[in-house]
Amino acid sequence: MNNSDSGTTKNDIAWSKVFDTLNIPQTISERGSFVITAQQIKDISGREPRLMAKFDHSENLPRIFQENRLAILPISRGSYVISNFNAYHQFENNDMSIERLSLPTHLQSLNADNIFSETVALNCALASGMLNDFLGEDDLISTVSGRMKSGNLKFHVNNTETNTLQEVTVYNAQIEIDAAYEGVGSLAVFEAKNDLSPDFLVRQLYYPFLTWSDRIAKQVRPIFLVYSNGIYRLYEYCFENPQDYNSIKLVQHKRYSIEDTGICLMDIQSVFDAIHLVDDPTSIPFPQADDFERVINLCELLSENQQLTRNEVTENYAFNSRQTNYYTDAARYLGLVEKNRSDGEVVYELSSYGLRVLKMTYKQRQLELCKSILQHRAFYLTFQQSLQIGAVPCKQQIMKNLENGIPDKMSESTLERRSSTVRGWVEWIYRLINEE
């Protein structure tokens, strides 16, 4: 069995080897931290240090880091510090209304239906006036972006083991700014992602914030932009104490779209009324993936990359290996993704149906996805009952629907877990209602 099939990633194996060779946990226990060079990482693991130390979300951390509650931060161009850092921040809930904007009619090279990278998403956000609205600045100029040196930084990070502040000193580490827009009153530095995740690495905002706060007199505003499924999610943060990594605080967040997001209950009712039930696939497990937006986002990731191994999905997306299995199986259950083998490895790619769905406009895509869900009996029955009682049914009722909709006998605990997915997906359908 290869590594990806066993749920162990290449980074898991490589970092275990590094930890054993250098006795890292023991050193951290004695001294509080461990400084490791890029050359040590490469010599011991045989892997590219930059990829070995890039963990944008806590789920990406190798198993040995998670087991020891560790994180890693760069402190120079060629070295890192490992310790029990509280390095990540949970995204705040942003189930708010979506503000509709549009691109200037004379633009032909930007297309709201074909946003294939973070850079294009940022360009659309600027062209539509979204950034002016969010930042409250009329005249924004694109300024610094790309890779640059941080300069010398000194700050404190919470140590989760000792519950104390731990000092970190950085000498010219490499930082990367996806975009920066300067207005009359401020400089906004952006981290942009097209993957949905529960949290993010604070460093991605903090190092650019510290670097540019030292270089200019204007206010520096750290902004996180997440683009997925036609929706822009913008988060502005501040650091209440500039020398405290964990003093991050949300200032504001909004959701925008430059597509037609006006979906009413009548639209969904029309889809439901036209449903023809299909049999559940016998070779694919019933879904255990509660967050349907992340099922869509996984399809978007595959759309950009054509084909990904299980290991690549796990290492490049905010999934652990178990979640990779759950979410790829969920997308396969709906016919959006296919699982194949290439050179002995499991690979995932969009099906022809999945490709067609992702090329649809926002409204068409959401309604087609509703159809793909509701044509399965357990989801159909649950949605039907929700229309009758005006609320999503209770867990016990959903479990009964599962027993009626699936021929295989399931244990009580399995039924309970899968009822959570049914509830999550039906709730997603109702959240689509955004009557303009």
pLDDT in tens, 245-273: 999 999 999 999 998 889 999 999 999 99
Confidence of residue 408 (pLDDT cuts 50, 70, 90): low
Q: Is the pLDDT of residue 392 over 70?
A: yes
pLDDT (average), residues 330-346? 92
Report d(CA 200, CA 202) in Å as an integer: 6
**pLDDT the model gives residue 95:** 72
Confidence of residue 50 (pLDDT cuts 50, 70, 90): confident
Report d(CA 51, CA 11) in Å as an integer: 9
**pLDDT the model gives residue 311:** 85
Which range scores top for mean pLDDT: 156-160, 343-347, 432-436?
156-160
Q: Is the pLDDT of residue 406 over 80?
A: no
Q: Is the pLDDT of residue 164 over 90?
A: yes
Q: What is the DSSP letter of 178?
A: S
**pLDDT the model gives residue 165:** 95
Report d(CA 332, CA 20) in Å as an integer: 38
pLDDT (average), residues 238-251? 98
Count of beta carbons in the 10 Å neighbourhood of residue 186: 17
Contacts made by residues 108-116, CB under 8 angstroms, sequence distance 24+: 112/230, 112/258, 112/259, 113/259, 113/359, 113/361, 115/227, 116/303, 116/304
Q: What is the mean pLDDT of the chain?
A: 92
User: By percentage, how much of the chain surpasses pLDDT 90?
Assistant: 79
Residue 373 buriedness (CB in 10 A; 0-12 / 13-18 / 19+): buried
pTM, whole model, 2 decimals?
0.90
pLDDT (average), residues 16-20? 96
pLDDT (average), residues 201-229? 97
